[in-house]
Amino acid sequence: MNRVYPWHIIGGVTADGLSFRTWRRGLVYDCEDTQDAKAKISAPQDEFPHICGLDNFRRGDTKVRTYILAAILAHRDAAADSVRETAIIDFGRQGCHEQNLEYFNDYLEHGRHLGRGHLFVGTLPTTPPCEAAISLKLNGPGIYMDALDRFNVLWDEVSNFFEMPWIQRVMVCRFESGKLTVLLIERGGETEIPDGIDPETLVRQTFPAE
Amino acid sequence: MNDRTPVIVDCDLYTAFGPGVEACWNGLLHNQAAFSDCSRFHNEKFSTSLAAMAPGADVNGTKDIPAFFLDYLAPTAKKMPRDAELFLASTVGEIEYIDNPEHRCTCDMLLEHALKVCGKDNGRVVSAACASSNSAFVSLYHHIRSGRLDSAVVIGTDYVSEFLFSGFATLRALARTIARPYDRNRDGLLLGDAASIVNICSAKKAAELGLKPRAVLASGGMSCDAVHITAPMPHGEALSEAIVHALDQAGLSPDDIGAVIGHGTGTRYNDDMEIQAIRRVFGERSVPMLSVKGACGHTLAGAGLVEAVVGVRMLETGLIPPQTSLVTPEPEAAKYVSTEIRKLERPRVLCMNSGFGGLNAVIILEAAS
């Protein structure tokens, strides 16, 4: 059964490895590495959004960098600047398991003494969306949620954020098997959501490729 | 109170003071700190060996600590219907199983484990660093108010593991002496075990189930600093915004708040930021404030649940526990904290948490009467 929600999708991005595609405008960025991706995606000065800072881009791992760049592209796809009243929800089951292993193995390899701090910071599943929030100055709530892939929970949670009167947009992220999907959703309008649909399928259905 | 008002109908916790709410509550009232030498792993290379460990939790080494905690919390969880949604606040879940052959996320594993042990059909992990518990509360507040959910079990747990201990040591965040929130000579945090549970439902559902409200979840607010991944916003602007959002949502003013349970980790940056945020919202008023982390340590994702349970007891007893481990208050904090038990003059407690990523989450609890 479809459900109708009081919001609408204004932009969407998928990143398969370092191949980025926006679904509303059909922009494609095939990149060799994250520095190449940063150069290509942040270069157009006359395009949205205004980027608050990529000074610490090198701080994060590939996953963090992909989140930052996909968040920028979701705004570009919507042809909209970022607004600070934007909430972020990252929805999945993988959490930061890879990053946990990387930190702990590094700690063990260094004789169970001090590990590397930046690797420990990466052991929170909210680190990638928060780094995206820093780059775009998004001051709304930020959470990671794992509901064992009950996707209706995700869409309800988006509506939940809009119960907060000051929230204007919600950015939905989902990282699964090396593929990241980011949707930018705005308050108002109506969207009919098929029961149990995942973000990637939804963005493809919302903005079908020509 | 109307049909959709979220009410707390039951709670329990297990901390370094032992099992039960009263063990922790009495420890706080008697100004006790529950830290001891941690022997769960080799820690001689770190700046401290102190942590607040739950007695009896590591019956079979550290691997079964989450299972031990879930077994303890299960009877309270089972007081709620099977279809009550389980909200699980955790940062690393069953981290001792990091090397699991399925290569699964240890939070995802803990959620499935919790659903089984607590007898619930559905649940979700809510993770927002040290603001996880309060973020779960804020989410649930809106779900109940909007009618999407009518009952839930909120569980928050993290525990002292080598993974977390070494990580905070790496960041040089651990205290070299003892955790002293809001003290001029504070030099860091100490970690602690916690497993807490709060059963929440709409006022209508509580009446249907014959459950008496112990407190009202009156409101919640959240924000993100969006400034730095580990350091908080120096002047606490985003945290103060979260507080204001919570007050606005409930139609309250700062004068309606009787006390604040701060995040109060005992790190210099966090406590300074919080005091600045409090001053931005409360102006010249000396709103009573405390942190439980000087007594039972920083329990990470579980911190907000511990604070909520303490908040419920503050509302029920009309007492504000003293600030544990406080010797010389930070000058900016001196008007808010006390080493004495104080009376709660107004029937609302504001609880706030801030975590890595700049995540802030605030809830307001109100007396049930």
Task: Tell whether the model's pLDDT for residue A104 goes beyond 80.
Answer: yes
Task: Tell whether the model's pLDDT for residue A9 goes beyond 80.
Answer: yes
pLDDT by residue for chain B (369 residues), tens only, comes to: 899 999 999 999 999 999 999 999 999 999 999 999 998 988 888 989 999 999 999 877 777 899 999 999 999 999 999 999 999 999 999 999 999 999 999 999 999 999 999 999 999 999 999 999 999 999 999 999 999 999 999 999 999 999 999 999 999 999 999 999 999 999 999 999 999 999 999 999 999 999 999 999 999 999 999 999 999 998 999 999 999 999 999 999 999 999 999 999 999 999 999 999 999 999 999 999 999 999 999 999 999 999 999 999 999 999 999 999 999 999 999 999 999 999 999 999 999 999 999 999 999 999 997
Is B80 among the domain residues?
Answer: yes
pLDDT computed for residue A45 by the predictor: 67
Segments forming the whole domain that contains residue B249? 215-367
Residues B299, B154, single domain; the answer is no
Residues B41, B153, single domain; the answer is yes
| Cβ contact A93–B358 (<8 Å) | no
Is B313 among the domain residues?
Answer: yes
Domain end, chosen from B162, B191, B209, is at B209
Residue A136: closest C-alpha in chain B: B226
Q: What percent of chain A has pLDDT over 70?
A: 99
| Cβ contact A141–B95 (<8 Å) | no
A153 CB neighbours in chain B (<8 A) are 124
Q: How far B93 CA lies from chain A's nearest CA (Å)?
A: 10
B353 touches chain A (CB under 8 A): no
Is B118 among the domain residues?
Answer: yes
B96 touches chain A (CB under 8 A): no
B83 touches chain A (CB under 8 A): no
Domain end, chosen from B189, B209, B229, is at B209
B146 CB neighbours in chain A (<8 A) are 159-160, 163
Partner residue opposite A95 with nearest CB, options B108, B163, B167:
B108
Domain end, chosen from B185, B209, B233, is at B209
pLDDT computed for residue B5 by the predictor: 98
| Cβ contact B226–A137 (<8 Å) | yes
B228 CB neighbours in chain A (<8 A) are 134
Residue A94: closest C-alpha in chain B: B105
pLDDT computed for residue A56 by the predictor: 79
- Chain B stretch 151-180, residues whose beta carbon is closer than 8 A to a beta carbon of chain A: 162-163, 166-171
Q: How far B147 CA lies from chain A's nearest CA (Å)?
A: 11
* CB atoms inside a 10 Å sphere around CB B58: 18
Residues B205, B225, single domain; the answer is no
Indicate the average pLDDT of chain A: 94
Q: Give me the number of domains chain B comprises.
A: 2
Residues B128, B202, single domain; the answer is yes
- Chain B stretch 123-142, residues whose beta carbon is closer than 8 A to a beta carbon of chain A: 123-129, 135, 138-139, 142
Q: Which domains does chain A have, with CATH numbers?
A: 3-206 (3.40.47)
Q: Which CATH number does the domain housing residue B279 bear? A: 3.40.47.10
- Chain B stretch 193-212, residues whose beta carbon is closer than 8 A to a beta carbon of chain A: none
- Which tens digits make up the pLDDT trace of A176-204? 999 999 999 999 999 999 999 999 999 99
The length of chain B in residues reads 369
Is B1 among the domain residues?
Answer: no
A107 CB neighbours in chain B (<8 A) are 166, 170
pTM confidence score: 0.97
Residues B132, B226, single domain; the answer is no
| Cβ contact B226–A84 (<8 Å) | yes
Residues B196, B74, single domain; the answer is yes
| Cβ contact B135–A143 (<8 Å) | yes
Residues B192, B236, single domain; the answer is no
- Tally C-beta pairs within 8 A across A and B: 181
Is B58 among the domain residues?
Answer: yes
- Per the CB < 8 A criterion, the answer to whether B311 and B226 are in contact is no
Pairing assessment for the beta strands A142-146 and B123-127 based on DSSP bridges = antiparallel
Residues B165, B237, single domain; the answer is no
Is B318 among the domain residues?
Answer: yes
Residues B272, B191, single domain; the answer is no
Is B255 among the domain residues?
Answer: yes
Residues B192, B233, single domain; the answer is no
A133 CB neighbours in chain B (<8 A) are 224, 226, 357-358
Residues B188, B244, single domain; the answer is no
B249 touches chain A (CB under 8 A): yes
Residues B70, B92, single domain; the answer is yes
